[in-house]
Chains A and B, each alone.
Chain A
Amino acid sequence: MEKSVVEKNVWNGGVRPMVASYGKLMMWFFLMTDALTFSAFLGAYGFQRFVHADAWPVADEVFNHFPFLHGEYPMLFVALMTFILIMSSVTMVLAVHHGNKMNKKGVLIWLGLTIIGGLIFLGSQAWEWSHFIHGTYNGALLGADGSIAHYVAGTTNEIIRHGQVLTGDAAAAFIASASEIQGANLLANEYGHPLFGDFFFFITGFHGFHVFSGVVILIIIFINVLRDTYEKRGHYEMVEKVGLYWHFVDLVWVFVFTFFYLV
């Protein structure tokens, strides 16, 4: 690399005050702004949840199914998804590790595993969405006022609405005005307030799109590694930069997991 007097000048980008390349620095700043975007989404979720606290569904009563198993298993599937994403973060960090050692084979193995982890996560999310959209076997009652109620198990004239059991005339009046609803869409869902469904689709969808873009970028990088692009360039910094993005996707999921499923 040629070093002229101009390049060494502080005011012409000749030195790197943060000792990070332009690309890496910009990736960091992009991720920081993206984190602010996700904070705004989760903050808005919190806002609406506080406002509609009485009509807000309990997440582990909504997401309590596990593929191929009958019965209720709250949290388990989403915990599995979290472990898959953490694991793919580990494989990514190992790919970067081998990249720093200029070990092409190591990069390919760990990058390949990261891509597989990402694809498994996307598949899990598709399953979760499908289950959310199709709903439960029993469905729920959508009142004329937009509130959601469920039959008390084993009865057809007693309902639970906003955590309160209604019987007799009050229940009959609600049932008469209500319509059956099953599953979820953007206008209504059987679990509770419509905004719960909207935020679920929007936040997990936005995160899922990040994962999808991440997988696409990882595949491009994988092909580049195969074609010796970085071997010729002399360093695997591109793997490191994409790794930053991938870890960020994991990081966001850690927060989505907490605020959507746990809190």
Chain B
Amino acid sequence: MAESGSTRQIWIVFWILFVLTTVEVLLGIFKPAFMLENAVIGVSLLNHTFIILTIIKAYYIVGTFMHLGHEKKSLQISIVAPMWVLVPYLLFILLCEASFHGAIG
């Protein structure tokens, strides 16, 4: 059973998610030019920002709402490790192949 903490932590996380989503939406609407034009490893700074903010949101949802942060270390690792290994691997292969797709016709 999960330990029953106070609801304070829950509302803090709610506000974090709220603010991060608002930032994402504002960036999505206004698309600052310097973020759109500068790219790092083929992806614009704007998209890097979106992805980083999304991962931060995921961290708070999984850690606090799903309570994984309070589970045993072995459970945490057995859930998170496959994601951190397999998903970047899959994306690396798919996106690299996609960027060569035109070259090999």
Contact = CB atoms under 8 A, between A and B. Distances in A.
A263 B47 contact: yes
Given A75-B25, A247-B65, A35 B83 contact: yes
A235 interface: yes
B83 A32 contact: yes
Interface stretch (A79-87, A145-153, A162-170, A191-199): A79-87
A51 B102 contact: yes
Contact of B58 (A75, A94, A251): A251
Contacts of B86: 36, 39
Nearest to B21: A82
Taking chain A's interface residues, is the majority helix, strand, or loop, or is none over half, making it mixed? Answer: helix
A248 B58 CA distance: 10
Interface of A: 17-20, 25, 28-29, 31-32, 35-36, 39-40, 43-44, 46-51, 60, 74-76, 79, 82-83, 86-87, 89-90, 92-94, 96-97, 100-101, 235, 237, 240, 243-244, 247-248, 250-251, 254-255, 257-258, 261-263
Interface residues of B, number: 49
Interface in B78-105: 78-79, 82-83, 86-87, 90-91, 94-95, 97-99, 101-102
Given A28-B75, A40-B90, A251-B58, A262 B66 contact: no
Interface of B: 1-4, 7, 10-11, 14, 17-18, 21-22, 24-25, 27-29, 47, 50-51, 53-54, 57-58, 61-62, 64-67, 71-72, 74-75, 78-79, 82-83, 86-87, 90-91, 94-95, 97-99, 101-102
A25 B74 CA distance: 12
B21 A86 contact: yes
B101 A51 contact: yes
A86 B91 CA distance: 26
Given A248-B66, A261-B28, A86 B10 contact: no
B95 A251 contact: no
Given A254-B61, A263-B51, 4 more contacts: A17-B74, A20-B71, A93-B10, A251-B62
